[in-house]
Structure 1
Amino acid sequence: MKILLWLLTLFASAIGLAVLARFNPGNVVLFYPPYRLDLSLNFFIFLVLAAFLTIYVVIRAVRLTQKLPGRVIAYRRAKREHEGNAALRESLKAFFEGRFGQAERLATRASELPENAGISALIAARAAHRMRQGDRRDIWLATTEVDPTLKAARLMTALELQVDEHQFKQALETVEQLNANGTRHIQALQWSLKANQQAKNWPEVLRLVQTLDKRNALHPALSNRLREMAYDALLSDRVHDAESIRAFWSGIPGSDKFKPYIAVRAAQAFASRGLHDEARTLLERALAADWDIRLLRAYRDSTGEAGSAALLAQIEHCEAWLAKNPTDAELALTLGMFCLRQKLWGKAQRHLEQALSDAIEPRTVRESHLALAQLHEALDQPEQASAHYKQCALATAIR
């Protein structure tokens, strides 16, 4: 329909011009002495239009000729950009597919385009790293140092690759550069955590775990495990004396103090430095916060001297707990062993036999038999002691 309207307009214009030219009697006289030229008005108009079109075509041709080198350059540039961007996309695709050799080759082609050089170098560095080509990886990373806009990307890439190769010294140096650069997002903190973990820099590991926990960036199980590893190493450090271990423990957040694994390790650290009363106290507080078999076993190992006020206090605590947990085999075993140490033979035998009847775990069965054997030995009952020793040996063999 649109074409038809254009044709009708064209035909109507042609007819109009023909009618106008037929009934136009005007003429134009060009006089330049001694010459005179008479032209019809229609022919003069035709000449003017023809001259205008000729001049227009000539000017357009000259301008196009002048612009031709630039257009050729622009065409080549566009072609190069298209090929470079295509190579960059293919390089990323090959990298994610695991074809690292192909990814590096395509990244090399993509780096011929200056705009893609930095990103292509980072892709090539990662691909070379996956192929265990450390020299090529370092060369690619070095090429990105000239571009200040890629500093954070280069440092993050270098940090990840260094942590992957357990080069924790270089990784920590990279972390310092990232911190100086102001890069503190979650991914940077996570790689920093791994680098400090490899370097066994446990105070920094704890700080980073706390920071990442606030941002919900760590799985709770991983967070707890990292805390346990850090506190285990710090509490096992032999540089601590009695005063320094107290100072260190006072600086631990309250939420961590009552976690079973940490409380057990702290109790062992206190006991190894002669702080037995403090070890028992922190275990009692941890048991009040979270009843855990690990805490109870550590409490059993921290028994006081026979006849001491500490041992009597432990017996009282266990009796109170047993009233609330009458079927707890570990608790009955603990109370029985405390009574055995205090030479309360009847109570010791009753609680140890209760522990043996309620026990499920082989370890509890074995320790109950061993304690009963020691009890009967102390009471000069060799036959019963021998029977329990045999049962203890059998439980050990079955384990």
Structure 2
Amino acid sequence: MRTLIWLIGIFALAVGVAMVAGLNDGYVLLVAPPWRVQLSLNLLVVIVVVGFALAYALIRIISRTLQLPGRVAQWRERRRRARAGRALNDSINALFEGRFSQSLKSASRAYETGEGSSMAALIAARAAHALQDEPRYREWLEHAAEHGAQGEVARLMTEAELAIEARRFDEAAAKLATLRAGGNRHIAMLRLEAQVASALGRWEELVQTVRQLRKHKALTDEQAAPMLRRGHVERMRELAGDGDALAAYWKDIPSVELQDRGLIERVLPLLAAVGRGELARKQVERLLDERWDSGLARQYAYCAATEGDVRACLQKAESWLPQQSRDAGLLYALGQLCLNAQLWGKAQSYLEASVQHGATVDAHLALAHLLEKLERTDAAQGQYRAAAEMVAGKQKTAVALLPA
């Protein structure tokens, strides 16, 4: 349809031009002594139009001819870039597929073309590292560093990540410090910092980093809890022996992190060792009131630091007893509290009940010490033997689980 419209238009224009030319009787006289040329006006118009067209075509041909070397160079550059792009894509694809030798070769070709040289060098470095080719790994890192600011963040992140894989944590820490000094603080970097802090025992740094990851939703509460627990426990172990520092650290832990029962179980003995177990008493009672936990209840005796604490804890623990009368952990804690209160008869009853409903090495030993104090040596020896048998049984089980 469009072609038909164009044909109709061209024919109409031709008819119009023919009609105008037929009505035009004008002429043009050109004088260049001693010559005189007389032309019809219509012919002159045709000559001018055709001459303009020929001149324009000639100029275009000359221009294109002069531009030909540049166009050939551009075509070659486009082809070079296309080959480099394919080589770079092939190297990335091979790296993710685990074909590290092929990835290294493709990255080398991409680097030689100069297209994406910094990225090609980093891919080659990763492939060489995966091949455990340390000389080439270092060589490609040097090539990546030659490009200065171009890809510097990617290079430092790559070096830090690969250093962590090789367990060179000090080197990784130095690279991450450089990134941090440059104002970088993204999630991938925070993940690496958490690994480095954990490996180097920088527990406060680990806790702060995990909190930031959780804030940015890079870690769920379930994922963050074990890391926070380890950071808090190890830091408090470092502070063990300094009651004031330990208490100050405990008070700085946010309440949401104190919902971790595993954390409470591990730090209660540390607090009790410096006589500050009462700091955790209300938290332990709150957690046990919310949901019963025999393991946490077993630690409850650590919350009693003074005689007044012992009486208060004993009263609270006995209030749980009607609902948890067969819980070995609670019975053990009651036995320990009665020992602290010098209620020997009740302590013996609770410890014997704990052994009956769920024997543990600690319960047998606590009962044995009490029986010795009560000068019941034979009975105490029986408890010592029971504890030794339990330890031996656990050792045999552990040996049996070792791989052949």
TM-score range, shorter chain: 0.7 to 0.9
**Residue 197 of structure 1: aligned partner:** 198
**Residue 109 of structure 2: aligned partner:** 109
Alignment check: 8 A CA contact 1:259 1:286 kept: no
1:367 aligns with 2:363: yes
1:68 aligns with 2:68: yes
**Residue 334 of structure 1: aligned partner:** 333
Matches within 5 A, 1:163-312: 163-237=164-238, 240-256=241-257, 259-272=260-273, 275-276=274-275, 278-279=276-277, 281-282=278-279, 284-291=281-288, 292-300=293-301
Alignment check: 8 A CA contact 2:354 2:363 kept: no
**Residue 321 of structure 1: aligned partner:** 320
Corresponding residue pairs, total: 389
Q: Give the aligned residue type for 2:298.
A: R
Q: Give the aligned residue type for 1:330.
A: G
Taking a change above 3 Å as real, the CA distance of residues 368 and 74 of structure 1, as seen in their structure-2 partners, is same
Report the CA distance between 1:155 and its aligned residue.
1.8
Please give the alpha-carbon distance, in whole angstroms, between the structure 1 residues aligned to 2:298 and 2:197: 33
Offset from partner CA, 1:318-345 (integer Å, 9 cap, x none) = 3233245333232123324554676756
**Residue 129 of structure 1: aligned partner:** 129
TM-score when normalising by structure 2? 0.79
Please give the alpha-carbon distance, in whole angstroms, between the structure 2 residues aligned to 1:381 and 1:244: 42
Of 127-136 and 8-17, more deviation after overlay is shown by 8-17
Report the CA distance between 1:182 and its aligned residue.
0.7
Alignment check: 8 A CA contact 1:336 1:352 kept: yes
* Secondary structure, aligned partner of 1:217: coil
Please give the alpha-carbon distance, in whole angstroms, between the structure 1 residues aligned to 2:51 and 2:339: 127
TM-score when normalising by structure 1? 0.80
Report the CA distance between 1:260 and its aligned residue.
3.8
Report the CA distance between 1:267 and its aligned residue.
3.6
* Secondary structure, aligned partner of 1:216: coil
Please give the alpha-carbon distance, in whole angstroms, between the structure 1 residues aligned to 2:337 and 2:39: 137
Taking a change above 3 Å as real, the CA distance of residues 71 and 395 of structure 1, as seen in their structure-2 partners, is closer
Of 186-195 and 326-335, more deviation after overlay is shown by 326-335
Offset from partner CA, 1:37-79 (integer Å, 9 cap, x none) = 3444454444334433332222122111121122112212222
Taking a change above 3 Å as real, the CA distance of residues 78 and 26 of structure 1, as seen in their structure-2 partners, is same
* Secondary structure, aligned partner of 1:104: helix
Alignment check: 8 A CA contact 2:85 2:110 kept: yes
Please give the alpha-carbon distance, in whole angstroms, between the structure 1 residues aligned to 2:239 and 2:29: 120
* Secondary structure, aligned partner of 1:290: helix
Please give the alpha-carbon distance, in whole angstroms, between the structure 2 residues aligned to 1:311 and 1:43: 125
Taking a change above 3 Å as real, the CA distance of residues 14 and 326 of structure 1, as seen in their structure-2 partners, is same
Sequence identity percentage:
31
Taking a change above 3 Å as real, the CA distance of residues 7 and 186 of structure 1, as seen in their structure-2 partners, is same
Please give the alpha-carbon distance, in whole angstroms, between the structure 1 residues aligned to 2:60 and 2:239: 90
Q: Give the aligned residue type for 1:327.
A: R
**Residue 82 of structure 1: aligned partner:** 82
Alignment check: 8 A CA contact 1:155 1:174 kept: yes
Please give the alpha-carbon distance, in whole angstroms, between the structure 1 residues aligned to 2:88 and 2:302: 64
Report the CA distance between 1:116 and its aligned residue.
1.5
Please give the alpha-carbon distance, in whole angstroms, between the structure 1 residues aligned to 2:338 and 2:44: 134
Alignment check: 8 A CA contact 1:108 1:121 kept: yes
Of 319-328 and 117-126, more deviation after overlay is shown by 319-328
Please give the alpha-carbon distance, in whole angstroms, between the structure 2 residues aligned to 1:380 and 1:64: 114
Report the CA distance between 1:143 and its aligned residue.
2.7
Taking a change above 3 Å as real, the CA distance of residues 167 and 346 of structure 1, as seen in their structure-2 partners, is closer
* Secondary structure, aligned partner of 1:36: strand
Alignment check: 8 A CA contact 1:84 1:110 kept: yes
Identify unmatched segments of 5+ residues in structure 1: none
**Residue 402 of structure 2: aligned partner:** none
Alignment check: 8 A CA contact 1:121 1:144 kept: yes
Identify unmatched segments of 5+ residues in structure 2: 395-404
Q: Give the aligned residue type for 1:140.
A: W
Alignment check: 8 A CA contact 1:196 1:204 kept: yes
